Structure formats: C-alpha cells, structure tokens
Amino acid sequence: MFISKFRSKPECYKFIASECGIYVPEYKTVTIDHLREIAANKRKIIYAKDVRWITVPNYEGLTMKDMLEWSKRYPEVVRALPSIEREIIKLHRQFVANLIYTIVGDPFKKWVDKVIEDRNAKIIDQ
C-alpha cells in the first residue's frame, strides 16, 4: 500500500520525516530503498523528538568507520542503519553519531569521552 501511494523519493521523505516525525538522514544522503524499509518496519524507527544529540569531534579514533565499528556490537544500531553498506558511508557523521547515542546511550558517550581523553593526553605528552 505504501509503495502504491508514495512512489517518489520526495513523497516518501516528506511523509516519513514531516508527517510521521521519524528521524531520517538528510534528503540528499538517503535512498528511496531505505525510506521504504523504514515504512515497511524493516528498519528500527527513531522519532525525531526522541533523538539525543552528541558532539563528536573529528579526531583520530572517532571517524565514521570507528563509530560504526564500535556500534556493531549493538544489533539495534545495525537495524536502524540502511541495509546496504555503501549507503551507510554516504550518511552524515552527525546523523550516525546521534543515531548511535540515541540507541546505545551512555556507553557510547563514555567511549567517545575516553578516546578524546586519550588523544588529549597523547598531545600533552608530545
């Protein structure tokens, strides 16, 4: 039913993001396939009002790859991301950080803080 009613990416995006209030990636980075998976409840849904925001500096050890690798131990995070690997790489870093923090919570924040602390200690030693 959803596919027959919302055929184009703009229609899907507007419905899911605006009318349903679901936290989705920026329009230019999301695919219609991911939007359809969200609508079909094949992806974990996070409502925009429930998102926990976190600032993750762009330091060595806190790259997108590092965050995604760390989050693989949490199946709910994997379920919230697009099912196709190459789509995940296109996502904005802030979206991924917020998604992980919203789902995992304090363990993610503690990991980020530890990496920052270790990096700062290394710089001081140098």
* SS3 annotation, 99-119: HHHHHHCHHHHHHHHHHHHHH
Render 16-43 in DSSP notation, one character per residue.
Answer: IIIIS-B----GGG--HHHHHHHHTT-S
Tens digits of residue pLDDT in 86-99:
999 999 999 999 99
Residue 6: which pLDDT band, with cuts at 50, 70 and 90? low
Judge whether residue 101 has pLDDT over 50.
yes
**Residues 21-50, mean pLDDT to the nearest whole number:** 94
3-state secondary structure of 63: coil
Q: What is the pTM of this model?
A: 0.90
pLDDT for 123 equals 86
**Residues 41-69, mean pLDDT to the nearest whole number:** 95
Least confident of 5-14, 27-36, 53-62, 63-72: 5-14
Q: CA 47 → CA 40, 69, 103, 115, distances in Å?
A: 15, 24, 11, 29
The larger pLDDT score, comparing residue 14 to residue 6, is at 14
pLDDT for 125 equals 85
Rounded Cα gap, residues 36 and 6, in angstroms: 9
Domain count of the fold of the chain: 1
Residue-number span of the structural domain to which 59 is assigned = 2-125
Tens digits of residue pLDDT in 75-86:
999 999 999 989
Phi, psi dihedrals of residue 39, rounded to the nearest 5°: -65, -30
Judge whether residue 34 has pLDDT over 90.
yes
